[in-house]
């Protein structure tokens, strides 16, 4: 009876989580807020611009650019889910988050993370078809097929992510309430629980392996098929031209998956590093792709660049 009473009282030792800035760099939070605020504004401007340009220009309503619009939407959602909490910590040292807010933020972060992973896979499939079957490209990737792929990505993402916050509701949190990051992540939350988290851990691992893990393997397979096709092209110029169409997508793959893989390897096999190093690498995974993807695609894609220039010059009065 005494043990039960102690357990029940410890369940309510706190009612909020405390998010963390950059450990060891707290004195620099105000200064760090400047580049992070600039990154957030660049993310909003870049991704919204790409989505609007693709939406308004009917000539861009083709598979490659429709997938790019999906990528911009996922980047926008991921940045909106992460940046505000981080900036609150940097600007105002506002670290408290109640359970409902934390679980909701966690759901949207992981949802947009998985959505982006699946979109990058869909873009790899687009490149495979464009290079391997260029004459049948438009007949294979019709608007109806693109719509079905988008719905499949959305359904898969929601189905695997909805159980995560629901399973968290059964847990008791009575050890510590200090999270390791400036936002709520599933592995970070269950680490603080004093309940049995076996089900949460197993399901969380299943979600990661069945979404981003599987997507990464299929992306690698896609590029094996692309390389096989490219090497069969007789002319050197033809091979370079085919590979050149994949550079922007390869940048998206590297930006999204590299920090996640590096962080996983460091946690398991790397030397013991200061905690802010791990936090910075995690931030790179969530914050850098939404900033860099629009820049890469605008620089590398002439059609997008020309449409953006046309939009900004459309209302300029003609010179006499």
Give the model's pLDDT for residue 140. Answer: 92
What is the average pLDDT across 31-39? 89
Does residue 6 lie within any of the structural domains?
no
Q: Which of the two residues, 44 and 13, has the higher pLDDT score? A: 44
Closest CA to 275 of 23, 27, 18, 32: 23
Q: What value does the mean pLDDT take over residues 190-196?
A: 86
Lowest-confidence region among 45-49, 87-91, 106-110, 124-128 = 87-91
**For position 1, what pLDDT does the model report?**
35
Domain of residue 288, CATH code: 1.20.1070.10
**Residue keyed to tokens 């995974």:** 285
Question: Can you give the pLDDT at residue 319?
Answer: 46
The answer to whether 150 and 138 are in contact (CB under 8 A) is no
User: pLDDT averaged over the chain?
Assistant: 86
- Distance from C-alpha of 225 to C-alpha of 248, rounded to nearest angstrom: 18
Range of the domain at 188: 17-311
Q: Provide the number of structural domains found in the chain.
A: 1
In a domain, 318, yes or no: no
Is the predicted pLDDT of residue 213 greater than 60, yes or no? Answer: yes
Does 2 reside within a domain? Answer: no
Q: Is residue 320 part of a domain?
A: no
DSSP code of residue 178: B
DSSP bridge partners of 96: 18
Asked if residue 284 belongs to a domain, the reply is: yes
Half-sphere exposure of 152 (CA within 13 A, CB side): 11
Write down the pLDDT at residue 23: 76
**317 in a structural domain:** no
The structure's pTM equals 0.89
Poorest-pLDDT segment among 197-201, 209-213, 232-236: 232-236
pLDDT tens-digit series, residues 107-135: 999 999 999 999 999 999 999 999 999 88
pLDDT given for residue 283 in this prediction: 83
pLDDT at 11 over 50: no
pLDDT, one tens digit per residue, over 157-189 is: 999 999 999 999 888 887 778 888 889 999 889
The fraction of the chain above a pLDDT of 90, given in percent, is 50
Question: Does some domain include residue 298?
Answer: yes
Q: Please give the average per-residue pLDDT across 286-314, as a whole number.
A: 85
| Residue 27 in domain | yes
Dist. CA 1–CA 29, nearest whole Å: 47
User: CB under 8 Å to 309, separation ≥6 — which residues?
Assistant: none
């Amino acid at each position: 009876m005494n043990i039960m009473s102690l357990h029940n009282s410890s369940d309510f030792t706190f009612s909020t989580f405390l998010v963390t800035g950059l450990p060891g760099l707290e004195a620099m939070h105000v200064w760090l807020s400047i580049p992070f605020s600039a990154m957030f504004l660049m993310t909003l401007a870049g991704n919204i611009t790409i989505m609007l340009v693709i939406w308004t220009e009917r000539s861009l309503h083709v598979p490659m650019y429709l997938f790019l619009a999906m990528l911009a939407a996922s980047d926008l959602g991921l940045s909106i889910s992460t940046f505000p909490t981080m900036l609150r910590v940097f600007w105002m040292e506002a670290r408290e988050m109640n359970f409902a807010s934390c679980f909701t933020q966690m759901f949207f972060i992981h949802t947009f993370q998985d959505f982006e992973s699946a979109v990058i896979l869909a873009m790899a499939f687009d490149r495979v078809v464009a290079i391997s079957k260029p004459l049948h490209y438009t007949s294979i990737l019709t608007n109806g097929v693109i719509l079905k792929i988008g719905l499949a990505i959305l359904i898969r993402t929601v189905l695997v992510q909805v159980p995560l916050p629901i399973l968290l509701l059964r847990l008791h949190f009575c050890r510590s309430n200090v999270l390791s990051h400036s936002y709520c992540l599933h592995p970070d939350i269950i680490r603080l629980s004093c309940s049995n988290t076996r089900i949460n851990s197993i399901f969380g691992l299943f979600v990661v392996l069945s979404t981003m893990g599987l997507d990464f393997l299929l992306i690698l397979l896609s590029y094996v098929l692309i390389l096989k096709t490219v090497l069969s092209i007789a002319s050197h110029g033809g091979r370079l031209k085919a590979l050149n169409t994949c550079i922007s997508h390869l940048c998206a793959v590297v930006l999204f998956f590299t920090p996640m893989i590096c962080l996983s390897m460091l946690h398991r096999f790397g030397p013991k590093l200061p905690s802010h190093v791990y936090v910075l690498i995690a931030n790179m995974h969530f914050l850098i792709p939404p900033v860099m993807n629009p820049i890469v695609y605008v620089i590398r894609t002439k059609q997008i660049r020309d449409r953006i220039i046309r939009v900004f010059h459309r209302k300029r009065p003609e010179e006499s």
